């Protein structure tokens, strides 16, 4: 069987050689050139096809790595944003607007601030929840207005005073030892006179801006996860969150 196969193969090569020898030399030369060109084209095509495939594979790997990194960053940012939402829900802020930007009106604004924190600090320091602090503020709005009006009258500058509990936009704010993220907060808003001057704002609950004499040291605080968020300088995250809040709220 092997002998027959060898004979058949030899016969095939013999026929091929005979056929090739019967072709004129000019035709042999032309055919060889064309065959070489075709061979070079095939090799070149295969080479560049392989290079394109390698580039595509590399691009796919890079895209996969970038996509994975983006998913990790987005998941971390989403978790941070959720914690910041908890901070906003657990906070009651104080917002005082001065009559104008004159030195006198700005000094009156600070005098009103000191009186409000001193007289009502214990009220907020002894609340257990933000909702309780908000309800206490609403129940004492008239007294808060009277306190502010008294301070202005004693300074010889009587002005109209309006106090409200509102939900308003605050930008990221750094205080001594903590940072509050941007977003919508409940706040006690006190407007003095025309309320056209620079404002002052801080936190009534938890009592972060209440004097220590009011018992704030023993008062409520943020949950641990929220405490870590406001006390750690995540400047990039806070900036990204503020941009997102502005975009979402249209502020």
pLDDT at 9 over 50: no
Tokens of 212: 């220590």
According to the model, what pLDDT value does residue 4 have? Answer: 45
The packing angle between helices 235-249 and 25-89, to 10°, is 90
Looking at per-residue confidence, does 171 or 76 come out higher?
Answer: 171
Q: Return the domain boundaries, the chain.
A: 1-89, 91-249
CA neighbor of 189 nearest in space, from 112, 250, 105, 243? 112
Question: Worst-scoring range by mean pLDDT, 88-102, 171-185, 220-234?
Answer: 220-234
Could you tell me the pTM of the whole model?
Answer: 0.62
According to the model, what pLDDT value does residue 155 have? Answer: 92
pLDDT at 126 over 80: yes
Q: Which pLDDT band, with edges at 50, 70 and 90, does 233 fall under? A: low
pLDDT at 56 over 70: yes
Alpha helical stretches, state H, 90-195: 103-125, 130-139, 141-154
Spatial separation of the C-alpha atoms in residues 26 and 12, rounded to whole Å: 24
Question: Worst-scoring range by mean pLDDT, 46-55, 166-175, 238-247?
Answer: 238-247
pLDDT at 215 over 50: no
| Helical (H) or strand (E) element with 87 | helix 25-89
223 secondary structure, DSSP code: -
Looking at per-residue confidence, does 126 or 216 come out higher?
Answer: 126
């Amino acid at each position: 069987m092997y002998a027959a196969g060898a004979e058949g193969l030899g016969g095939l090569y013999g026929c091929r050689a005979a056929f090739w020898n019967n072709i004129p030399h000019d035709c042999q030369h032309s055919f060889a050139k064309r065959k070489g060109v075709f061979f070079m084209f095939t090799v070149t095509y295969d080479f560049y096809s392989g290079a394109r495939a390698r580039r595509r594979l590399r691009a796919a790997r890079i895209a996969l790595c970038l996509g994975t990194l983006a998913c990790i960053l987005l998941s971390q940012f989403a978790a941070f944003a959720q914690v910041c939402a908890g901070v906003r829900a657990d906070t009651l802020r104080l917002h005082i607007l001065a009559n104008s930007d004159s030195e006198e009106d700005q000094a009156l604004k600070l005098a009103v601030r000191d009186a409000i924190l001193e007289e009502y600090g214990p009220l907020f320091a002894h609340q257990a929840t933000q909702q309780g602090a908000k309800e206490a503020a609403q129940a004492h709005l008239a007294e808060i207005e009277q306190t502010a009006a008294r301070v202005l009258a004693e300074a010889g500058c009587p002005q109209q005073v309006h106090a409200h509990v509102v939900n308003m936009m605050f930008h990221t704010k750094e205080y001594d030892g903590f940072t509050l993220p941007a977003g919508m907060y409940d706040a006690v808003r006190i407007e003095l006179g025309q309320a056209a001057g620079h404002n002052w704002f801080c936190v009534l609950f938890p009592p972060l801006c209440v004097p220590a004499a009011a018992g704030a040291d023993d008062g409520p605080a943020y949950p641990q996860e929220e405490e870590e968020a406001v006390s750690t300088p995540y400047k990039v995250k806070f900036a990204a969150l503020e941009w997102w809040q502005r975009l979402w709220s249209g502020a």
